[in-house]
Amino acid sequence: MKMCRAGFLIVAITFFVISQPLAKAQSSSGSGTPAQSQTQTAPPPASSSSSLQLTLTYHRPSETEKLKNYAFDSFGPYAFFGAAVAGAYQQAVTTNATPHISGSPPDWGQGWDSYGVRVANNFGINLVTQTARYTLAEVFREDTIYYRCECSGILPRVKHALISTVTARRGEDGHRVFSFPALAAPYAGGETAALLWYPSADSIRSRGFGPVDGFRIGNYNLLVQAGLNLALEFVYGGPHTLLSQHHVPMLSNATGSNKSN
């Protein structure tokens, strides 16, 4: 239940944060005459970087860049590290009394072999999640690559990471939109695990896992994706930010925010 509330909380916060800059943009665009809008051509001051900056020159990634990012999210260090940490947590809290709260079946037991099964389970969930997000993003023509925030301050960067969990960029200008692929992918991973390789209802020591449990696992997975974005923002941003968060000419095309144009 807590996982479900947390998942919905991320979505609600995202809608609230996105609606604020959109409302300000609409009010400012309709509050002047055409003549006034032509004279107000001065660029915003450089000190306004405390909020999310999504209006910079955007470079839509190529298919090669998308595949490279997909490989990093699916088989990179975060995929293995996250699976190992999640497996250790599940093994520590899983009991016969709380199999559906922990998201790990007690049928898998304890010990190193069971820990390996749980690590493989979490790695598989992430692999399905990233594959679903990449595939759906291609269908919806969205860019779901994570871009580090060009703002300063911890809170604005945290807000950017959380928003990016359920949003993507669309079009040649890279405007940010609510993303069905980004939201649906974590639940695709949860449902796949619950229906394909988790114990079924005829299990001896467990009542089995079904679609409802897959949805619960999806809520947990959504939180994991938010944590992944926080790691991408504050620790290591992947193949498109090898030289830290500061954009340089040799990486501008990969980061999608070329300031020199």
pLDDT of 102: 62
pLDDT of 108: 84
Joined together, the tokens standing for residue 90 give 């599940």
Joined together, the tokens standing for residue 127 give 């692999």
Which has the higher per-residue pLDDT, 71 or 209?
Answer: 71
Pairwise CA distance, residues 216 & 7, whole Å: 10
pLDDT band at 239 (very low <50, low <70, confident <90, very high): confident
| % of the chain exceeding 70 in pLDDT | 64
Pairwise CA distance, residues 240 & 256, whole Å: 9
C-alpha distances in angstroms, 201 versus 94, 97, 192, 206?
A: 18, 16, 16, 7
Task: Please name every residue paired with 142 in a beta bridge, in sequence order, or none if there are none.
Answer: 170
Domains of the chain, residue spans: 57-255
pLDDT of 97: 55
Mean pLDDT of 127-149: 95
Mean pLDDT of 186-208: 78
Which has the higher per-residue pLDDT, 32 or 236?
Answer: 236
Determine if the pTM surpasses 0.75.
no
C-alpha distances in angstroms, 199 versus 93, 109, 127, 206?
A: 18, 12, 20, 7
Asked if 181 contacts 144 with a C-beta cutoff of 8 angstroms, the reply is yes
Pairwise CA distance, residues 234 & 220, whole Å: 21
Judged against a pLDDT cut of 80, whether residue 173 lies above it is answered with yes
pLDDT of 96: 61
Q: Which amino acid is at 55?
A: T
Question: What is the helix (H) or strand (E) element at residue 24, kind and residue range?
Answer: helix 2-29
C-alpha distances in angstroms, 105 versus 7, 210, 225?
A: 22, 12, 22
